[in-house]
Amino acid sequence: MLLRTFGWSFGITAAGLALAGVLWGWKGLAIVAILSVLEISLSFDNAVINAGILRKMNAFWQKMFLTVGVLIAVFGMRLVFPIIIVAITAKLSPWEAVRVAIDDHDRYEALVTNAHPAIAAFGGMFLLMIFLDFIFEEREITWLGWLEKPLAKLGKLDMLSVVIALVALLIAATTVATGVPVHGGHGTIDKGETVLLAGVGGLLTYLVVGGVSGFFEDRLEDEEEDAEDADVSASEGIAAEGAVEPKNGNGVSTGQVVGLAGKAAFFMFLYLEVIDASFSFDGVVGAFAVSNDIFEIALGLGIGAMYIRSLTVFLVRKGTLDDYVYLEHGAHYAIGALAVILLVTIKYDVSEVITGLVGVVLIGASYWSSVVRNRRLGEESPQSDEDKAEVASGV
């Protein structure tokens, strides 16, 4: 199980470190290794959130997440995305941005750092919306009941999360976005307008991608309920999370269900990639504290991203989120903390150590609370379906 899930990660780590050693020597190898650890430590909460979404997909889309998704994460977000940001913010052509990234590392680092307010505003607002929608949703199982239950009641107000997010964005644009230090210490600049526009972009991205994926997911659930109500034999081939397994001779066309599952999974896949992008922002910018070589950064963060994906699939296959029911709560609190940290870093430097520790502490606390809960229920290792159902019901 462990080797099957993490095999590619182990192989890519060995190949990546060997390549770093050949290209940049022992120093480059050490830098790539440090960047990999940095990415893993900053993104563990990302794996928990991803697992909560990925478990709704069938085996095909889980494989897509580990193949196409990795290519997008490594080459798209860790290599191409920073170049695109530099090209847009510095008003350079893409080819000129690539040339700067390869030939002038110091200037490239300065351009990426100066683009950080826009990056942080976009990612911060996207992550903040994930946290707010979670905390305002009414759920049977609560971790911090004294906080979550009252907030769930407030969440019945339509668009409350959007209103709070916009208020937070306005506060950020009129406070931390003013007097932002220019890279190199040469004065300050007002980034209020940039932060406002980028933050609205992050909010709209969340609403569009999340809304479309939710729409198709709801349609898929309706189709499954209709099939069950009609006692159609084909419904036995539909997994509870949307997987489809057509059966011969059932007399029912399953093409529509397959299409709905594909659409739902496709947009959820896009949603996962945007989440990964938002989580990668702080890692990409923070990586310049270790190296300003774009290829060392891409390789190191790419190795780390591979482990996050493998860990996501591992959590899904082991049913960890069902056994330890507070993990998702801890991960979402970590997302909320990261969103605030991203907005703060528009103006102030926040150590990556602090960012990583916040996530680790919150997830660790939620894991331990889950263990205590399981022991209290007399389930030291909940494995059977009956045990999981009992734990989920809160009995």
Higher local confidence (pLDDT), 225 or 16: 16
The band of 230, judged by pLDDT with boundaries at 50, 70 and 90, is: low
Q: Give every CB contact of residue 292 below 8 A, 6+ residues apart in sequence.
A: 105, 106, 108, 109
pLDDT tens for each residue of 303-355? 888 888 888 888 888 888 888 889 889 989 988 998 899 899 888 888 777 88
Pairing between β-strand 188-189 and β-strand 180-181 as defined by DSSP bridges: antiparallel
- The single-letter code of the amino acid at 16 is G
User: pLDDT tier at 272 (50, 70, 90 boundaries)?
Assistant: confident
- Taking only the tens place, the pLDDT of each residue in 250-270 is 443 333 333 335 677 787 888
Let me know: does 330 contact 365? Beta carbons within 8 Å.
yes
Q: Is the pLDDT of residue 244 over 50?
A: no
**Helical segments of the chain, H only:** 2-54, 59-66, 68-71, 81-89, 94-103, 105-114, 116-135, 145-154, 160-174, 192-229, 255-286, 294-318, 320-323, 327-344, 352-376, 385-393
Stretch 346-367: mean pLDDT: 85
Count of all residues that appear for the chain in the document: 395
List the single range of 53-62, 139-148, 210-219, 330-339 with lowest mean pLDDT: 210-219
Q: Give the residue among 276, 209, 310, 268 at the shortest CA–CA distance from 72.
A: 276
pTM listed for this prediction: 0.75
Closest CA to 286 of 370, 223, 345, 372: 345
For CA atoms 135, 137, 143, 149, the dihedral sign is positive
**Predicted confidence (pLDDT) per residue in 141-199, tens digit:** 899 889 999 999 998 888 899 999 999 999 999 998 887 877 665 677 888 898 999 99
Cα angle 296-299-302, degrees, rounded to a multiple of 5: 140
Where do we find the tokens 């734990």?
391
Distance CA(339)–CA(346), nearest Å, equals 11
CB 330 within 8 A of CB 367: yes
| Gap between the Cα atoms of 240 and 388, Å rounded | 15
Is residue 271 predicted with pLDDT exceeding 50? yes
